[in-house]
Amino acid sequence: MESKMTDKMRQWTTIWRDRISAHLEGTSMRKAAAYAGILFVLSVLPLLLLGRYNVMCSDDYDYGWRIHDTWLATGSLAQSVRAAWQQDMKFYQEMNGTYVSSFLMGLCPMNFDYGSAYIVPILMIGMLSLSVFVLGRHILHRWLGADKAGSAFVMFILLFMFYQVLEAPFEGIYWYNGGLHYVLIESVWFFALTAVSAALWTEKRSKEAAYSILAVVLAAVVGGGNLITGLQAEIVLAFLVLYAALRDRRKIVAAALPFAVESIGFLFNILSPGTAQREALDMLEGYSAVRSVLLSFYYAGVFIIRWTPVFVILIWFMLLPILWRLAKDSGRDFRHPMWVTLGCVCVVAAMFTPTLYAIGTVGLSRVDNIIQMVYYLCLIMATTYWFGWLTHRKTAGSYGENGVQNLRTGDIFGLFMDKAGMKMTAVCFVLVLAVWLFTADKNTYTGVSALRSLVNGEAQTFYAEAMERHALYLDETVRGVEIQPYSVKPALFDFEDLTEDEYNWLNLAVAQYYHKEYVRCLTK
What's the rounded Cα separation, in Å, for the pair 329 and 340? Answer: 20
Q: The whole model's pTM is what?
A: 0.92
pLDDT surpassing 90 at residue 284: no
Q: What is the pLDDT of residue 20?
A: 61
Q: What is the largest CA-CA distance in the chain?
A: 98
- The half-sphere exposure of 297 on its side-chain side, counting CA atoms within 13 A, is 9
Which of 122-131, 289-298, 314-323, 352-361 has the weakest average pLDDT? 352-361
Q: What is the pLDDT of residue 407?
A: 52
* Confidence at 359, pLDDT banded by 50, 70, 90: confident
Q: What is the pLDDT of residue 36?
A: 95
Q: What is the pLDDT of residues 142-151, one digit of tens each?
A: 999 999 999 9
* Confidence at 11, pLDDT banded by 50, 70, 90: low
Buried b (16+ CB within 10 A) or exposed e, 393-424: eeeeeeeeeeeeeeeeeebebbeebeeebbbb
Q: What is the pLDDT of residues 420-465, one digit of tens each?
A: 777 888 889 989 999 999 998 999 999 999 999 999 999 999 999 9
Going by the DSSP 8-state scheme, the letter that residue 441 receives in this structure is: S
How do the domains of the chain map onto residue ranges? 57-107, 456-524
Q: What is the pLDDT of residue 86?
A: 96
As beta bridge partners, residue 483 has 521
| Burial tier of 113 (Cβ tally within 10 Å: 0-12, 13-18, 19+) | exposed
Mean pLDDT of the chain: 90
Does residue 180 contact residue 126 with C-beta atoms inside 8 Å?
Answer: no
pLDDT surpassing 90 at residue 12: no
Does residue 149 contact residue 73 with C-beta atoms inside 8 Å?
Answer: no
Among 173, 177, 154, 182, CA closest to 446: 173
- For 378, residues 6+ apart whose C-beta sits below 8 A from its C-beta are 344, 345, 347, 348
Radius of gyration of the chain (CA): 26
Residue 58 zone, left/alpha/beta (φ > 0; ψ -120 to 50; rest): left
Compute the average pLDDT of residues 496-503: 93
Three-state SS string across 394-408, please?
CCCCEECCCCCEECC
Compute the average pLDDT of residues 78-107: 95
* 336 three-state secondary structure: coil
* Confidence at 399, pLDDT banded by 50, 70, 90: very low
pLDDT, greater one: 74 or 278: 74
* Confidence at 278, pLDDT banded by 50, 70, 90: confident
* 331 three-state secondary structure: coil
Q: What is the pLDDT of residue 403?
A: 47
Which of 1-5, 152-156, 264-268 has the weakest average pLDDT? 1-5
What's the rounded Cα separation, in Å, for the pair 163 and 63? Answer: 28
pLDDT surpassing 80 at residue 229: yes
pLDDT surpassing 70 at residue 17: no
Q: What is the pLDDT of residue 476?
A: 92
Does residue 358 contact residue 155 with C-beta atoms inside 8 Å?
Answer: no
Q: What is the pLDDT of residue 8?
A: 59
Which of 169-183, 239-253, 280-294, 472-486 has the weakest average pLDDT? 280-294
Helices 365-391 & 310-328 angle (0-180, nearest 10): 40
Buried b (16+ CB within 10 A) or exposed e, 188-197: bbbbbbbbbb
* Confidence at 282, pLDDT banded by 50, 70, 90: low
Q: What is the pLDDT of residue 396?
A: 46
* Confidence at 183, pLDDT banded by 50, 70, 90: very high
What's the rounded Cα separation, in Å, for the pair 499 and 509? Answer: 12
CA 204 to chain centre: 32
Q: What is the pLDDT of residue 274?
A: 86
pLDDT surpassing 90 at residue 207: yes
pLDDT surpassing 60 at residue 400: no
pLDDT surpassing 90 at residue 100: yes
Q: What is the pLDDT of residue 252?
A: 94
